Structure 1
């Protein structure tokens, strides 16, 4: 039997150094609406090795971190699958997630979501099938692109295809959120313009703060905000760094929150931590995934974890504490924690 990571107290609490009044503010804020636009709220094998990951994948059973989620303050989590090209496997995953949600009625509402629509190929009838299975958000394309449009890992993004434009229309009509997190820059701008509903970047950051293709340039951030959409700032190891700072930690992640809020307004910023319960960096190694190198920063090592934003349970509390400590107003913190995302979900979902 595969051992799995704990979803409570796997690592020591992050030291926020708040006084009693600040802690009371954080607790009050977390009693409101708190939304993660992108997380993997499941427990990873522990230890995670190529062998344990292969066995976990073969068995195909997800272990939702109910105990951790129940104490997180989260209200809604867009619970994402990993990239999966097989439509039938994705439909089985969605069924399993729905069954897992029935275990606990006290935790956050989990909405199944996809990294991309690569599993449908060129058959747009696959989108209603995913929606019928309970999936309420999907990226259009992943890094390498697909028949719908360009991915952020391609040297040339040729933009949203006619089929991609139709896919956006189908998603709008169904009430499925259009996510541009892994989509190329040109395709992102064109998809935002094509959508009749708000779109999101569920998990990324600002390229102005860290020059990675995985981050988004200002024109893409503005295009999403122009739809009344939201940018969820992520915290996967190695993603939302800050140029000139060696650490990837809570301070670095929140620097992206601050930048995006200043660029497009606080009404368009949220959280999409992109975390697991378990060793995220270890998953990269076990699965043989290599994060894209950042031009000019190829030698920067991948951190073991992002201190303060390591898992789905601690991320919203520590983000709230950081914003309180920095003097943000409660009304703006509440928007970032979940108010903005709730507005978009309420507009788009049927």
Structure 2
């Protein structure tokens, strides 16, 4: 397979308008393809079909962190040092090699430790967002996405529409108007909770889930009014269900898997998946290391990942599933080890079933690799053009048209 850059890309390195070493600290970032460029093989007929499908349908990745880890992940300090600088490095060239037309960028979020080792501080979130928007303003390949029309315009020009996301609502504290502020700054999706509880409700790490609070209901109502997409990926089950019921608009679970395939706190029950679908929403399947495992595989790879996809598809239908792979550029397993406490990976991924840890999830290691291989897997496994168009972006765009309008 020959790797080609998108036609709208012009060479650009993050923050290249500044002088390294003088205006910002030089960080030794990882190579985006450090684990290789792993591509599922197709025969010539399948290859042609894949190209044709990707040319005519927008590819929407519902949850990613298209930035870098450091090269040295043997200790935590190089990564922590990089995160404290507050200058996240977007992978422009890496994204230009992808099939993605619209990416939901969750930025630093849970690794945002600029002013606090515990993260999620309002001032840090605004710092992160402002720094990234400044960088975007100095290039023309990534387009700040605020409307559905931005997605189609970006695809037509060979560019990528980037939706900015705050993965958990802890930074708004008890200020509902901060939802309006985030929307005004161009954020178009907000998670109700991360894995920890906040003023809106319970996170998925908690042993007891009190459901959506009265303030949480007020926030759901405000998000509906301003046109903010609601995400319940890291919520406790009751909190997530309450949010679905209370919202007047469809919501999403942007990055998760099915408890029916791999039973951990982090993944979604059948009842929650059905509730999201009944409200017209979409469940995005995630590929962060050691999440969408499978008892039939006992490891994490593209087949265990797609087992979760097919489980959700069979449960609620092809109209309510998509992909939010939750990938980045660099050693994702190393990042999970370094930020185990902040990201609650130990609390939310516990299982009594022993499994084999992988150094990376082959074919899904980063946003670019995932965008090559998901459509290829679907083609190899007999999905129709109509089905592929829906899950690659059609389902997501349907929800966005209703929520963002």
TM-score with structure 1 setting the length: 0.95
Q: Does 1:57 align with 2:83?
A: yes
| Rounded Cα–Cα distance in structure 1 between residues aligned with 2:254 and 2:216 | 19
1:251-330 equivalence runs, <5 A:
251-289=303-341, 290-292=345-347, 293-297=349-353, 299-330=354-385
- SS of aligned partner of 1:187: helix
Please state how far the C-alpha of 1:108 moved relative to its aligned partner.
Answer: 1.1
Query: Cα deviation per residue 1:169-195 (whole Å; 9 max; x = unaligned)?
Result: 100111111000001111111110111
- SS of aligned partner of 2:401: helix
Query: Cα deviation per residue 1:284-326 (whole Å; 9 max; x = unaligned)?
Result: 22334443342312x4353211111110111122010001000
Unaligned runs of 5+ in 2: 1-25, 111-118, 142-157
Q: Which residue of 1 aligns with 2:94?
A: 68
Q: Does 1:10 align with 2:10?
A: no
Q: Which residue of 1 aligns with 2:388?
A: 333
| Rounded Cα–Cα distance in structure 2 between residues aligned with 1:339 and 1:19 | 26
Q: Contact (CA 8 Å) 2:250, 2:399: kept in 1 or not?
A: yes
Q: Which residue of 2 aligns with 1:148?
A: 200
- SS of aligned partner of 1:348: helix
Instruction: Compare CA radii of gyration and give the structure with the larger one.
Output: 2
Q: Which residue of 1 aligns with 2:46?
A: 22
2:125 to 78, 87, 90: 90
Give the RMSD, CA atoms, in angstroms.
1.5
- SS of aligned partner of 1:337: helix
Q: Does 1:230 align with 2:282?
A: yes
1:104 to 133, 140, 165: 140
Q: Contact (CA 8 Å) 1:101, 1:110: kept in 2 or not?
A: no
Q: Contact (CA 8 Å) 1:94, 1:134: kept in 2 or not?
A: no
| Rounded Cα–Cα distance in structure 1 between residues aligned with 2:372 and 2:205 | 32
TM-score with structure 2 setting the length: 0.83
Question: How many residue pairs end up in the alignment?
Answer: 348
Query: Cα deviation per residue 1:112-151 (whole Å; 9 max; x = unaligned)?
Result: 1011100111111221111122111011011121121111
Q: Contact (CA 8 Å) 1:112, 1:137: kept in 2 or not?
A: yes
Q: Does 1:171 align with 2:223?
A: yes
- SS of aligned partner of 2:104: strand
Unaligned runs of 5+ in 1: none
